[in-house]
Structure 1
Amino acid sequence: MKARKAENHSDPLTPLVKVRLHQEIVGQLKDRIVRGDLAPGDRLPPERELADQLRVNRTTVREALHKLESMGLIEIKHGSGIFVKDFLESGSLELARHLLFLDGKLNFEALRNLLQLRRIMVPEICFHAAKNRSDHDLAELERVVFHADDLPMDEKDWRVHNLIARASGNQLFVIFLNSFTALAGDSFKLYFSVERNRRRSARFHAEVYRAIKDRDAAGARKIMTEVLEFAEEETLRALGASNKRGKK
């Protein structure tokens, strides 16, 4: 049997180096902008100068700059230069993921803001689900709440929230929750690693199901608000303790 050529194994790895460099440039400039080291209106060095400073080719720099522009962090004015934008005016939901980590570390305040947003938005989603749910929506919610004990609690909780959002009748509610889960998924795993929190969520699932079944919109909103307030407090406390342990 003939041995395979070595290049068959090495070829797929080549673009990974380029992607990694591109992401590192994005991360470095993003961190400086978010920290305020680069202020709105500041002019970045030209593409060629950035490439020389970073010791990469101009194509890699160009890809990083286009990514930063799509995030609302910079504006490329052809013939004029590259300028930092005010991300509080131009940033989109995509930027939230990048705000959560600065210099490779969790941005605790950004996570606090994200959890606060969830605490404000999700009870309203639950309110509309109780008003608008169909019999099919209720049956699907019942199946997950009472007959999906084989699922890990973090996944079960996501499914419950996803079904509630679907029952609201507003597709953007579903997309918002999907985006939130993608952003804060690791914090959910930490929260559900505690047995007390898993038991509390199981009770919450049953309570919110009954409120939605009864079309008690105000009750559903109240239940969701209370559980999210508790979850937010516990998550931030756990992350604070985790950070302290990591510094020892």
Structure 2
Amino acid sequence: MARQVTSTTLAQAVADHLRMRIHRGDVSPGERLPAERELAEQLGVARISLREAIRQLREDGYVEVRRGSSGGTYVTELRRPAEAWRARMRAQVGEIDDILDFRIALETETAVLAARRHTESSLVPVREAVEALHDVIGRTAFRQADSRFHIALARAARNERLEEAVETARGELFSPRDLLPFREPVEETLRDHQAVLDAVRRGDADGAAEAMRAHLEHSRRQLRIIVFGADEDGVDDAEWPAS
């Protein structure tokens, strides 16, 4: 029997959609969301459902409501969601590997198809996303450039279902690099993205898949550092800030 759609489930769907946009970096910490009427129209939902969705996001630490002349609903610095993510990963042994195994299966094939099917014009946004990493200032700009790279690469693969899967996956999985010291993941990610782009541009499908796999294995290592507090070289948890 199909589940009945209620205002509560609709509000949850709206909250999930806004949460994914925040995770992808579409909406940045400190940024004000559109006014209630405008946002409800954009999303095609009733204002009562939007209000409930905003309430859920407030409870989870994603947004805060400010009063006064510059009042409105603003995205927070995401400290509470980041800590909640880390706590969940610690409690659910094996979740990290499940996440990365899924992304490797999905995005290595994306890289293969991009190498085989890309056009020069389709690689322009991929190259621009790589170049943007050279100049990023702050974690939000990094998350945005990182997401643009992976989504643009999926578009270059010219498979709408694959593109949608990559975009959805990036929105559903919290961005764990927000818990890392800033410079190291940027420099490593820049090298990895450049290696993927170079292989795709050459039409080297195997090389593109291998470069993407290496990139995501680096992400696996970063995830382990974030969650468990020490890497294989014994980095102490105190060296890794919580936000």
TM-score range, shorter chain: 0.5 to 0.7
Aligned residues: 148
> Take 2:175 and 2:194, find their aligned partners in 1: how far apart are those partners?
24
Q: 1:208 aligns with which of 184, 196, 199?
A: 196
Indicate whether 1:180 and 2:169 are aligned. yes
Shift of 1:149: 4.2
Shift of 1:19: 5.0
Q: 2:118 aligns with which of 122, 133, 138?
A: 133
The aligned amino acid for 2:213 is: T
The aligned amino acid for 2:188 is: R
Matches within 5 A, 1:77-156: 105-106=88-89, 107-147=92-132, 149-151=134-136, 152-156=141-145
Higher relative contact order (CA 8 A, sep 6+): 2
User: What TM-score comes out, normalization by structure 1 length?
Assistant: 0.52
Structure (1/2) with the larger helix percentage: 1
Cα deviation, 1:143-190, whole Å, max 9, x if unaligned, reads 222256454222211110001101111111111112211221232433
Cα deviation, 1:42-90, whole Å, max 9, x if unaligned, reads xxxxxxxxxxxxxxxxxxxxxxxxxxxxxxxxxxxxxxxxxxxxxxxxx
Matches within 5 A, 1:25-104: none
The aligned amino acid for 1:178 is: E
Change (3 A) 1:19 1:206: same
Q: 2:153 aligns with which of 136, 147, 164?
A: 164
Partner of 1:93: none
User: What TM-score comes out, normalization by structure 2 length?
Assistant: 0.53
Partner of 1:221: 209
Q: Which entry has the higher C-alpha Rg, 1 or 2?
A: 1
SS at match of 2:203: coil
Conservation of the 8 A alpha-carbon contact between 2:104 and 2:216: yes
> Take 2:210 and 2:176, find their aligned partners in 1: how far apart are those partners?
23
The aligned amino acid for 2:128 is: R
CA RMSD of aligned residues (A): 3.1
> Take 2:96 and 2:172, find their aligned partners in 1: how far apart are those partners?
9
Identity %: 19
> Take 2:148 and 2:221, find their aligned partners in 1: how far apart are those partners?
22
The aligned amino acid for 2:196 is: V
Partner of 1:71: none
